[in-house]
Structure 1
Amino acid sequence: MAIRAVMFDFSGTLFRLEQDETWLSDLTDGDGEPLDIEAQTELMRRMTAPSGTVVELDEEYQHAWDNRDLDPDLHRKIYLEVLRKSGLSRPEQAEALYRRLVDPGEWTPYPDTAAALKGVAAGGAKVGVLSNIAFDIRPAFGLHGLDQHVDEFVLSYEEGAIKPDPAIFGILLDRLGVAPGEALMIGDSEEADGGARELGCAFALVDPAPTDVRVDGLLTVLREHGVL
């Protein structure tokens, strides 16, 4: 069956929160020592990990982690705790870095994001963005003139469901007006995004590598699935 719709994940798929040295250069550990490059890199990984637990948590904070993409308050609570447990003992530093995470303007599109979205739309297929997220990512697309190529956004905190729950894939499919067998899901998480296969969608995995490393991952999988 021909692909009539492509559903894209956001973080690590269409956009990436890139490590910016200016954000991290003044961060210090509990002893007041600057974080080394390995610690900085690990911080960014923990801020954007799509699944799994990145630090050891008690029952209260594990609940917040498991439900972070359903509730903005829980999202803020757990990420400030993750940053604290990752060595940022000064609350003002954790708050400043968290604000970067939830600012759509800080997210960088992959080099082929524009071409991928435009190519799918130009070919007559519907475009959807489906994200486990606790803040509005639409402005990130608007800043780069990409919102005009997206037919529907489905965000977990607005819908009360998170990937890999089949329900959230079903919401987007219904809004796009396509059957599961006519849709391709593209994402960076086998666990979360791969849940689309339970409904009968095709699935393609991309590497959430830095944007200067993964330059044509989206176009490659779209070609492999005959969309472009």
Structure 2
Amino acid sequence: MTKASTEVGAPRAVLFDFSGTLFRFEERAEWFADLHDEHGEPLHVETQAELIRRMTHPVGVPDVITGDDRIAWEERDLDPAQHRRAYLAMLRSSGLAVPGHAESLYERVLDPHSWQPYPDTAAVLRGLHDRGIATAVVSNIAFDLRAVLALHDLTDAVDAVSLSYEVGAIKPEPRIFTDALDRLGVAPADALMVGDSAEADGGSEAVGLRFALVEALPTDARPRALLDAVGAFGIDLG
């Protein structure tokens, strides 16, 4: 779904969230083939799905994370080392207690091949680029997602990348949005933010951007949400 625009004039720039918006981290059966619980039993499908959910859509601080690991969790999107520590702690406390298993699954997040584009990701980014509408990726993340863009031949379709661990600010903090706008040379009123979080990505509205909300569904269940999102704000890409 999208939030309809009441603004006059189509945006001159569109900013996109990464995970759950342009790309999705989707599990594969082979990732879990050699993983098991502390009793040697294979992980249930429900457990596998929950692990992936916690890795991609964490909400708040998990109760099982305490002490320095809790601090790492709160700072995970600002420092790659803290990100690794926080997620390994979360995975170990969520059913991957066998030595090496949490590390194995965590490494999948860093692998560009693990991130699947939504069906309309390339069409939207390239369509905007071809029409002279600037684009940026704005993400709370602690690794360089540019490798994912390169893997899908989308580097040239993105004009700017603002990542929390490079900028030193986390959405919905204004500075990460203004960093992207400054890189693009576009005023807030002339830009649209597209993302799957009303809280994090919707924080762009406080800066003066327009905002479109999409759902972080599986890739095969969301064929044209990005096309519809920009279309609702006057950018018809077909």
TM-score (structure 2 length as normaliser): 0.92
Cα deviation code 1:179-201 (max 9, x no counterpart): 11111001111111111010110
Cα deviation code 1:138-188 (max 9, x no counterpart): 011111111110000111111111111001101111111111111100111
Structure 2 distance, partners of 1:80, 1:52, is 16
2:110 to 83, 99, 102: 102
Give 1:25 deviation, angstroms.
Answer: 2.7
- Report the 3-state secondary structure (helix = DSSP H, G, I; strand = E; otherwise coil) of the residue aligned with 1:225: coil
Structure 2 distance, partners of 1:38, 1:21, is 12
1:104·1:136 contact (CA, 8 Å) conserved in 2?
no
- Report the 3-state secondary structure (helix = DSSP H, G, I; strand = E; otherwise coil) of the residue aligned with 2:36: coil
1:220 lines up with 2:221 in the alignment: no
What is the aligned partner in structure 2 of residue 9 from structure 1? 17
What is the aligned partner in structure 2 of residue 134 from structure 1? 142
Give 1:62 deviation, angstroms.
Answer: 2.1
1:193 to 188, 195, 201: 201
1:162 lines up with 2:170 in the alignment: yes
Structure 1 segments, 4+ long, off by >4 Å, are none
Structure 1 distance, partners of 2:187, 2:219, is 32
TM-score (structure 1 length as normaliser): 0.96
Which amino acid is the alignment partner of residue 105 of structure 1? H
Structure 2 distance, partners of 1:196, 1:131, is 12
**RMSD (Å), alpha carbons:** 1.2
Give 1:32 deviation, angstroms.
Answer: 1.6
Give 1:223 deviation, angstroms.
Answer: 0.7
What is the aligned partner in structure 2 of residue 49 from structure 1? 57
Structure 2 distance, partners of 1:64, 1:202, is 32
- Report the 3-state secondary structure (helix = DSSP H, G, I; strand = E; otherwise coil) of the residue aligned with 1:129: strand
Structure 2 distance, partners of 1:209, 1:59, is 33
Structure 1 distance, partners of 2:190, 2:59, is 27
Give 1:53 deviation, angstroms.
Answer: 2.9
What is the aligned partner in structure 2 of residue 72 from structure 1? 80
Cα deviation code 1:38-69 (max 9, x no counterpart): 11100000011154334532242222111101
Can you give the 5+ residue segments of structure 2 that lack an aligned partner in the other structure? 1-7
- Report the 3-state secondary structure (helix = DSSP H, G, I; strand = E; otherwise coil) of the residue aligned with 1:204: strand
What is the aligned partner in structure 2 of residue 86 from structure 1? 94
Give 1:19 deviation, angstroms.
Answer: 1.2
Which amino acid is the alignment partner of residue 13 of structure 1? T
- Report the 3-state secondary structure (helix = DSSP H, G, I; strand = E; otherwise coil) of the residue aligned with 1:91: coil
Structure 1 residues 50 and 84: alpha-carbon distance in aligned structure 2, compared to 1, 3 A threshold: closer
- Report the 3-state secondary structure (helix = DSSP H, G, I; strand = E; otherwise coil) of the residue aligned with 2:221: coil
Matched residue count: 228
Structure 1 distance, partners of 2:20, 2:110, is 15
